[in-house]
Amino acid sequence: MTVRFNPASGWPQNGRAFNHGIVAPEGRTLYITGQVAWDGYGLLVGKGECEAQIRQCFDNVESILASVGGRLEDIVSLTIFFLNPADLPAIQKVRAERFTSENAPASILIQTPGLVSPELLVELVPIAVIPHARYRDPAV
């Protein structure tokens, strides 16, 4: 079972869905390549719209997780790269729709001057631990 915790010495969550510490359960660790707002055809979703782009990023992550029996709540660590600080409310909004404080991963937000393509505004890099009972081999 995943243990998520916030020690008394940690700063307050203030309504944000994250946890200071995660103790991962036994399971298969899944390292997911950075997910951007490209759909299954390699086309950009949400040109110029961070909220639409981060939704696509999460959809991509969910699809990858589902292919091995995983779920968003299996994510134990999430790094979010973003370009514009003005997009933080949209990023936090969508993140709060996908996670609660009870299932949120440890997180990092990193402002960056650019991503692999100039039209990209945000990128997610998750690490998940899929419990053995749900894990499916992707090669099967």
Q: Which sequence spans correspond to the domains of the chain?
A: 3-7+29-131
pLDDT digits (tens, 9 = 90+) for 26-51: 899 999 999 999 999 999 999 999 99
Task: Please determine, for residue 15, whether its predicted confidence score (pLDDT) is greater than 70.
Answer: no
pLDDT digits (tens, 9 = 90+) for 51-80: 999 999 999 999 999 999 999 999 999 999
* pLDDT given at position 139: 81
Range with lowest mean pLDDT among 14-18, 57-61, 68-72, 112-116: 14-18
Fold of 3-7+29-131: 60s Ribosomal Protein L30; Chain: A; (3.30.1330)
β-pairing verdict for 21-23 and 75-82: unpaired
Question: Which tokens go with 13?
Answer: 């969550």
**Which residues are CB-neighbours of 57 under 8 A, at least 6 positions away?**
35, 36, 37, 122, 123, 124
User: d(Cα 126, Cα 30) in Å, to the nearest integer?
Assistant: 8
Q: What is the chain's length?
A: 140
Cα dist from 6 to 24, 100, 114, whole Å: 15, 14, 32
pTM: 0.88
| Secondary structure of residue 87 in the 3-state scheme | helix
